[in-house]
Amino acid sequence: MKSTLNVPAREIAGKFMFAVLVVVNFQQIKAQVSSSNDLGIEGITNKSLSVIDEKYSSLNNRINKFLANELCKQQRLESRLQQKLAKKDSTAAYQTFAKSQQELERLKQLVNNPLNGKRISNYIPKLDSLQTASKFLTQSNLINSTQIDDVKRVGGDLQKLEGNFYSAEQIEAYLKQRKELLTAQLEKFGMTKEITNLKKQAYYYRQQIEEYKDIFNDQQRLEEKALSTLQQLPAFQKFLQHNSYLSQLFPSPSGGSVGESSANSIPGLQTRTQVQQLLQERAGSALSTPSNGTNVVANPLQQNISAAQGQVDQLRNKLNNIGNSSNIEQPDFKPNTQHIKTFLQRLQPGFNIQSVGATTFLPAATDIAATLGYKLNDKSVIGVGLSYKMGWGAPVKDIHISHEGFGLRSYLDYKIKGGWWASGGVEMNYMQSFKSLRELHDNVTVWQRSALIGGTKKIAVGKYTNNVQLLYDFLWRQQIPNGQPVKFRVGIGLK
Burial degree of 476 (CB within 10 A; 0-12, 13-18, 19+): middle
Model pLDDT, residue 45: 75
CA 59 to CA 66: how far, in whole Å? 11
Q: Does residue 392 surpass a pLDDT of 80?
A: no
> Which residue, 301, 254, 471, is CA-closest to 369?
471
**Inter-residue contact 135 to 152 (CB < 8 Å):** no
| Rounded-to-10 torsion of CA 309, 310, 316, 322 | -160
User: In terms of pLDDT, which residue wins out, 392 or 176?
Assistant: 176
> Which residue, 413, 357, 358, 406, is CA-closest to 381?
413
Q: Does residue 428 surpass a pLDDT of 60?
A: yes
Q: Average pLDDT of the chain?
A: 77
Model pLDDT, residue 7: 46
Model pLDDT, residue 47: 79
Determine which of 69-73, 184-188, 304-308, 437-441 has the lowest per-residue pLDDT on average. Answer: 304-308
CA 436 to CA 434: how far, in whole Å? 6
CA 139 to CA 133: how far, in whole Å? 10
User: What single-letter amino acid sits at 384?
Assistant: V
Going by pLDDT thresholds of 50, 70 and 90, the confidence category of residue 253 is: low
Which distant-in-sequence residues (6+ apart) come within 8 Å of 440 by Cβ? 406, 430, 434
Q: What is the pLDDT of residues 24-49, one digit of tens each?
A: 444 444 444 444 444 343 456 777 78
Determine which of 57-71, 135-149, 165-179, 181-195 has the lowest per-residue pLDDT on average. Answer: 135-149
Determine which of 71-85, 176-190, 257-271 has the lowest per-residue pLDDT on average. Answer: 257-271
Which distant-in-sequence residues (6+ apart) come within 8 Å of 446 by Cβ? 430, 431, 432
CA 6 to CA 9: how far, in whole Å? 5
Q: What is the pLDDT of residues 434-471, one digit of tens each?
A: 888 788 877 877 888 999 999 999 998 888 899 999 99
Determine which of 51-55, 113-117, 166-170, 227-231 has the lowest per-residue pLDDT on average. Answer: 227-231
Q: Which fold has domain 347-494?
A: Porin (2.40.160)
**Inter-residue contact 40 to 143 (CB < 8 Å):** yes
Determine which of 58-72, 367-381, 436-450 has the lowest per-residue pLDDT on average. Answer: 436-450
For residue 471, the Cα-to-chain-centroid distance in whole angstroms is: 39
Distances (CA, A) of 405 to 386, 429, 443, 445, 477: 11, 7, 12, 14, 18
Q: Does residue 258 surpass a pLDDT of 80?
A: no
Phi, psi of 320, rounded to the nearest 5 degrees: -65, -35
